[in-house]
Amino acid sequence: MRAITWQGRHKVQVDTVPDPEIVNPRDAIIRVTSTAICGSDLHLYDGYIPTMRKGDILGHEFMGEVVEVGPKSTLQRGQRVVVPFTVSCGNCFFCGKEQYAACDNANPATTSDASETLYGYPMGGAFGYAHLTGGYAGGQAEYVRVPYSDVGPIVVPDGIEDDKVLFLSDILPTGWMAAENAMIEEGDTVAVWGCGPVGLFAVQSALLQGAHRVIAIDHYPRRLELAKQLGAEVLNYKDTDIREALFEMTGGIGPDACIDCVGMESHGMAIDNLIDTVKAHTFLGTDRPAALRQAILACRKGGRLSIPGVYGGMADKFPIGALMEKGLTVKSGQTHVQKYSQLLLDLVAENEIDTEFLISHRASLEDGPALYRKWHDEQNDYTKIVLKPGMEPAHEPA
């Protein structure tokens, strides 16, 4: 089959690789009909995520048709499914608490050591996202082996198009959980840093969850425009002092909840971010938390901080004093996708949540490498790229 593989920093390519096979009884094989490039794929593309190996198949947002099932899978051939990016067993203590991203069994024994050393306990499993999370082959491919297929994939009714439900795999539940972690109360003002796909879904989710106002922050005009269409007030940090603006807009109180949808590769305009960039490039530090710092300082006393943005290592100059003295509550983590699948499928089917507005580009799998470059370089115009393995390539395969 054809698949997009990681070859090193800023280098991905489409390779012919072996087809996946059923390995365990609960497995299924999916023929991919739609797969997206995620903002977090850029962290891999930029080489910030450790334990990638040359040749790893990328992609963790995908859906398709069930073509093969193991004897213990509950899926049936021919069903259309969206697959959560998190691999979860459904049997452990954590899955029992619906903390699916913390699954204790989905990361194979041999790939669990690194994250146990880094984070104290092994991480759960995820598709196409380095060997820290299991080294699973990803979904930017024609076929994918899906382990524990009786727990993850959600069956999509006929009549709902791929583009409407594809984002149930990651960014929609991630935006939804980000808003849930902000513990929104009546009358709340919620500030969202980052208007990428997760930020835009966090905006929609915060409003659906009862926020009085949502203020969205970015520097790409196109992305701010989308946030505005969804009902947010917007701030461009290139033109505006964000702390001053938030202070004034909230009558000197500050946002009740702040959501960092930016993560480890924050751009930012301040000197601290320049220092962070140098440190990250020389491996003296790994994460550039400019947005997070700003969110902590801007948040009201006793407010809530929700962090869906991806961080991997250590952050410098973390304002722990502001966090403690103001008594902020922090909630974070990878998304417990399975917990939200049915609820969000229903909201999408009922048109309560708009998903298709996000997609700026649709292309074939073969066009993937060129689009990685665009996704990286032209973030204003490329708001979401969906690859269709069945589609004719725009260019001759390399």
CB-nearer residue toward other proteins: 56 or 256? 56
Contacts of 191 (CB under 8 A, 6+ apart): 214, 215, 216, 217, 246, 255, 257, 258, 259, 295, 298, 299
Beta bridge partner(s), residue 63 = 34, 82
Task: Name the DSSP letter for residue 359.
Answer: -
Calpha distance 63→33 (Å, rounded):
6
**Binding of residue 71 to other proteins (CB under 8 A):** no
Measured from the CB of residue 20, what is the shortest distance to other proteins in angstroms? Answer: 5
Task: Name the residue type at position 297.
Answer: L
Calpha distance 178→75 (Å, rounded):
30
Choose, by CB under 8 A, the member of 76, 110, 229, 342 that binds other proteins: 110
DSSP codes of every residue in 315-357: -SS--HHHHHHTT-EEEE-S--HHHHHHHHHHHHHTTSS--GG
Measured from the CB of residue 369, what is the shortest distance to other proteins in angstroms? Answer: 13
Choose, by CB under 8 A, the member of 10, 76, 77, 91 that binds other proteins: 91
**Binding of residue 42 to other proteins (CB under 8 A):** no
270, 319 in Cβ contact below 8 A? Answer: no
Task: Name the residue type at position 6.
Answer: W
Measured from the CB of residue 306, what is the shortest distance to other proteins in angstroms? Answer: 28
**Binding of residue 271 to other proteins (CB under 8 A):** no
Measured from the CB of residue 245, what is the shortest distance to other proteins in angstroms? Answer: 38
Choose, by CB under 8 A, the member of 104, 162, 233, 316 that binds other proteins: 104
Calpha distance 260→266 (Å, rounded):
10
Beta strands in 185-300 (DSSP E): 189-193, 213-218, 233-236, 257-260
319, 297 in Cβ contact below 8 A? Answer: yes
**Binding of residue 397 to other proteins (CB under 8 A):** no
**Binding of residue 61 to other proteins (CB under 8 A):** no
**Binding of residue 225 to other proteins (CB under 8 A):** no
Choose, by CB under 8 A, the member of 84, 135, 196, 199 that binds other proteins: 135
CB-nearer residue toward other proteins: 18 or 251? 18
CB-nearer residue toward other proteins: 49 or 82? 49
**Binding of residue 93 to other proteins (CB under 8 A):** yes
CB-nearer residue toward other proteins: 26 or 339? 26
**Chain centroid offset of residue 103 CA:** 18
Q: Dig out the tokens for 256 from the structure.
A: 């009740």
Choose, by CB under 8 A, the member of 45, 129, 136, 176 that binds other proteins: 136
**Binding of residue 35 to other proteins (CB under 8 A):** no
**Binding of residue 98 to other proteins (CB under 8 A):** no
Q: Dig out the tokens for 185 from the structure.
A: 């109360």
Please, what sign has the CA dihedral across residues 378, 383, 389, 390?
negative
**Binding of residue 24 to other proteins (CB under 8 A):** yes
What Cα–Cα distance (Å) separates residue 23 from each residue in 1, 28, 63, 65, 68?
Answer: 18, 9, 20, 18, 11
- Would you tell me how many other CB atoms lie within 10 Å of the CB of residue 177? 26
Element (H, E) at 361: strand 361-364
**Binding of residue 147 to other proteins (CB under 8 A):** yes
**Binding of residue 50 to other proteins (CB under 8 A):** yes
Stretch that binds other proteins, among 91-99, 157-165, 261-269, 295-303 (CB under 8 A): 91-99
Choose, by CB under 8 A, the member of 1, 183, 323, 359 that binds other proteins: 1
**Binding of residue 119 to other proteins (CB under 8 A):** no
The number of residues that bind other proteins (CB under 8 A) is: 54
Stretch that binds other proteins, among 138-146, 189-197, 257-265, 341-349 (CB under 8 A): 138-146
Q: Dig out the tokens for 315 from the structure.
A: 């952050």
CB-nearer residue toward other proteins: 17 or 249? 17
Measured from the CB of residue 25, what is the shortest distance to other proteins in angstroms? Answer: 6
Find, among 77, 113, 107, 111, the residue nearest to 89 by Cα: 107
- How many residues are given for the chain? 398
Give residues in contact with other proteins (CB under 8 A). Answer: 1, 3, 5, 8, 15, 17-20, 23-26, 47, 49-57, 72, 89-93, 96, 104-113, 116, 122, 125, 130-131, 134-137, 141, 144-145, 147-148
